């Protein structure tokens, strides 16, 4: 039996490798060019990839071998399980694949080319964010915020349809809906996740309420309006997923005129990790038509790692490039001797954990003085404020993540319900932000993840929990992170090198000697 598992896995890998690579490349091309042709090729490459994994006989064989525990050694068993799970996630008929890829391409095109209209002018996301972040005029931020939501109305119906189609495929496999299927086939236990999120909700409720008191005071002073007049556009970004300016120090000002690539390279040099090759393959600055977000992609599992950014010298993009290169070094330093299927992080949340860990270095005193070059006299004050910003960021992001996760759970339970009202109910409850009076727009649909990265957001939060646990071990092992080659070695050996040998939970346990424990993250909130 073991021999036939080996053959089955070997043949699957040989067949999927070129399809996988073509798909990654097409994703990249579509993101950097944004042309209809590239988007079309992306759609075709995605459909080919999905068709491969949708193949019914392959899935049945994988399931049968997996259920029979037919693989003798753990290395082979893990590969078989990954084949089985990937095939299971993609079980849908041709008509469904066609409909999904068509809808997704349509929605993707609309997001990519969307520019908010403010007073007859078209503004890209960075320009809208700059207004939301800096303006002191209430009317101006309201206009920019509303402009940023215009895309929602363009894509909302397609997203509802995507949810219906995803649900149909999930129910065929016996799942309640796509939410449950996505978690289960991604090796996340739905009940454990919901339990964990309920705990996070109660643990953050009081500190978040206290933080909001402070933020509301600052924001009402900033705009010269009453606290009762604060609405979603007053919080500094489109979804209030980040910390608005809290104190005296102009954090963005610290990055003015700085070369973010040089800062990032120096940061990774300090860990003994080489990123120049990744940077050289990356697409770093904004252009018309280009994807306005940021991501990292490993084209071939042989070291062709690239990142996409839209760098502007400010705090957000300084942390974003560290984040994306965090994904990058993870991919790069996975043991290339591992079988192809295992040459990847064990889970998306594992790589998000590393990205979050790397991103958080901008709040370290050692980073501020050593890498950014903040003068010593100022560095202590900046560091103190940075720590506060980081704590606030964990609270704000956790509450935002609750909105996203509970929204998606409810959307897949019933895509036809009144999602516009649900969205604002959740925002008011978890983010403690007052809804705009009388607004009946699909503001939830302006968030790209809802459409194109479904049932994904919880991974960011789980990633933060894992990051806090890694961080605790690194501090114990190396005494610090910034400029600590010992910390870099710990990450490369313990975390990156093993690839997907174990599932994410086993990986955390092997790397840190303890299963995932939320106490390390909880500590960062107090
Ligand atoms: Zn990421």
Q: What is the CA radius of gyration of the chain?
A: 23
Q: Is the pLDDT of residue 2 over 70?
A: no
Q: How far is the CA of 295 from the centre of ligand 1 (A)?
A: 7
Q: Are residues 397 and 403 in contact, defined by beta-carbon separation less than 8 angstroms?
A: no
Residues around ion ligand 1, judged by CB within 5 A, are 355
Q: Is the dihedral of CA 30, 35, 41, 42 positive or negative?
A: positive
The string over 39-70, giving b where at least 16 C-beta atoms fall within 10 Å of a residue's C-beta and e elsewhere, is bebbbebbbbbbbbbbbeebbebbeebbeeeb
Q: How far is the CA of 355 from the centre of ligand 1 (A)?
A: 6
Q: How far is the CA of 382 from the centre of ligand 1 (A)?
A: 26
How far is it, in rounded angstroms, from Cα 237 to Cα 104?
Answer: 25
3-state secondary structure of 515: coil
Q: Is the pLDDT of residue 350 over 60?
A: yes
3-state secondary structure of 516: coil
DSSP notation for 476-513: HHHS-STT-HHHHHHIIIIIITTTTSS-HHHHHHHHHS
What's the mean pLDDT in 206-222? 96
Contacts of 253 (CB under 8 A, 6+ apart): none
For the ranges 192-196, 215-219, 290-294, 508-512, the lowest mean pLDDT is seen at: 290-294
pLDDT in tens, 56-65: 999 999 999 9
pLDDT in tens, 35-54: 999 999 998 999 999 999 99
For 269, the token pair is: 């040099």
Q: Percent of the chain having pLDDT more than 90?
A: 81
The pLDDT-based confidence of 248 (bands split at 50, 70, 90) is: low
Q: How far is the CA of 140 from the centre of ligand 1 (A)?
A: 31
Q: How far is the CA of 139 from the centre of ligand 1 (A)?
A: 33
Number of neighbouring beta carbons within 10 Å of residue 392: 20
Number of neighbouring beta carbons within 10 Å of residue 196: 18
pLDDT in tens, 438-486: 999 999 999 999 999 999 999 999 999 999 999 999 999 999 999 999 9
Q: Is the dihedral of CA 421, 196, 216, 152 positive or negative?
A: negative
Q: How far is the CA of 357 from the centre of ligand 1 (A)?
A: 11
How far is it, in rounded angstroms, from Cα 318 to Cα 334?
Answer: 25
Q: How far is the CA of 352 from the centre of ligand 1 (A)?
A: 5
Q: Is the pLDDT of residue 422 over 80?
A: yes
**Average pLDDT for the chain:** 94
The string over 15-35, giving b where at least 16 C-beta atoms fall within 10 Å of a residue's C-beta and e elsewhere, is ebeebbbbbbbbbbbbbbbbe
Q: Report the pLDDT value the prediction gives residue 78, as an integer from 0 to 100.
A: 97
pLDDT in tens, 106-144: 998 898 888 888 888 899 888 899 999 999 999 999 999
For the ranges 109-118, 153-162, 169-178, the lowest mean pLDDT is seen at: 109-118
The pLDDT-based confidence of 98 (bands split at 50, 70, 90) is: confident
What's the mean pLDDT in 254-271? 97
pLDDT in tens, 384-420: 888 888 899 999 999 999 999 999 999 999 999 999 9
Q: Report the pLDDT value the prediction gives residue 167, as an integer from 0 to 100.
A: 96
Q: How far is the CA of 383 from the centre of ligand 1 (A)?
A: 24
Q: What is the 3-state secondary structure (H, E, C) of 25-38?
A: HHHHHHHHHCCHHH
Q: How far is the CA of 67 from the centre of ligand 1 (A)?
A: 33
What's phi and psi for 224, nearest 5 deg?
65, 40
How far is it, in rounded angstroms, from Cα 52 to Cα 93?
Answer: 11
Number of neighbouring beta carbons within 10 Å of residue 405: 23
How far is it, in rounded angstroms, from Cα 78 to Cα 92?
Answer: 24
How far is it, in rounded angstroms, from Cα 453 to Cα 396?
Answer: 21
Hunting for tokens 């289960």 — which residue is that?
Answer: 184
How far is it, in rounded angstroms, from Cα 515 to Cα 376?
Answer: 39
The pLDDT-based confidence of 3 (bands split at 50, 70, 90) is: low
Q: How far is the CA of 422 from the centre of ligand 1 (A)?
A: 27
Q: How far is the CA of 523 from the centre of ligand 1 (A)?
A: 23
What's the mean pLDDT in 249-270? 93
CA 2 and chain centroid, separation: 37
For 334, the token pair is: 């996975």
pLDDT in tens, 291-342: 888 999 999 999 999 999 999 999 889 999 999 999 999 999 999 999 999 9
């Amino acid at each position: 039996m073991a021999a036939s598992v080996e053959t089955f896995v070997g043949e699957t890998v040989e067949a999927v490798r070129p399809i996988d690579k073509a798909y990654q490349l097409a994703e990249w091309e579509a993101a950097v060019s944004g042309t209809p042709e590239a988007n079309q090729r992306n759609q075709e490459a995605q459909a080919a990839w999905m068709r491969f994994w949708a193949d019914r006989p392959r899935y049945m064989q994988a399931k049968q071998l997996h259920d029979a525990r037919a693989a003798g050694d753990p290395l082979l068993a893990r590969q078989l399980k990954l084949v089985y799970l990937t095939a299971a996630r993609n079980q849908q008929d041709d008509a469904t694949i066609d409909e999904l890829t068509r809808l997704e391409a349509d929605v993707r095109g609309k997001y990519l080319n969307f520019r908010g209209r403010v007073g007859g002018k078209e503004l890209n996301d960075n320009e809208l964010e700059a207004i939301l972040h800096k303006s002191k005029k209430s009317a101006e931020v309201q206009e920019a915020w509303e402009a940023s939501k215009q895309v929602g109305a363009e894509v909302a119906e397609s997203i509802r349809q995507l949810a219906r189609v995803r649900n149909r495929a999930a129910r065929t496999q016996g799942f309640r809906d796509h939410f449950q299927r996505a978690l289960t086939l991604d090796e996340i236990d739905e009940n454990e996740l919901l339990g964990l999120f309920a705990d996070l909700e109660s643990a953050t409720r009081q500190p978040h309420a206290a933080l909001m008191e402070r933020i509301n005071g600052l924001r009402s002073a900033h705009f010269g309006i009453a606290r009762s007049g604060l609405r979603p556009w007053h919080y500094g970004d489109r979804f209030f997923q980040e910390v608005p300016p809290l104190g005296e120090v102009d954090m963005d000002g610290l990055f003015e005129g700085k070369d973010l690539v040089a800062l990032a390279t120096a940061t990774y040099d300090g860990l003994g990790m080489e990123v120049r090759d990744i940077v050289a393959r990356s697409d770093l600055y904004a252009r018309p038509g280009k994807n306005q977000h940021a991501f990292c992609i490993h084209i071939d599992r042989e070291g062709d790692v690239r990142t996409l950014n839209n760098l502007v010298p400010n705090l957000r993009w300084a942390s974003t490039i560290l984040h994306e290169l965090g994904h990058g070094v993870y991919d790069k330093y996975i043991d290339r001797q591992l079988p192809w299927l295992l040459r990847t992080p064990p889970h998306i949340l594992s790589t998000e954990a590393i990205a979050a860990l790397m991103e958080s270095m901008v709040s370290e005193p050692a980073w501020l003085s050593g890498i950014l070059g903040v003068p010593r006299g100022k560095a202590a004050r900046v560091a103190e404020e940075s720590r506060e910003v980081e704590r606030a960021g964990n609270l704000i992001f956790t509450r935002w993540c609750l909105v996203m996760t509970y929204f998606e759970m409810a959307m897949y339970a019933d895509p036809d319900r009144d999602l516009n009202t649900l969205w604002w109910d959740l925002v008011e409850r978890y983010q403690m932000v007052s809804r705009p009076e009388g607004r009946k727009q699909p503001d939830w649909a302006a968030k790209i993840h809802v459409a194109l990265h479904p049932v994904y957001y919880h991974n960011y939060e789980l990633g933060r929990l894992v990051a806090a646990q890694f961080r605790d071990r690194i501090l114990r092992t190396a005494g610090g992170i910034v400029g600590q080659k010992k910390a870099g070695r710990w990450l490369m050996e313990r975390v990156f090198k093993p690839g997907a040998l174990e599932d994410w939970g086993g990986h955390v346990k092997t790397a840190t000697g303890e299963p995932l424990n939320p106490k390390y993250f909880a500590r960062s909130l107090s």
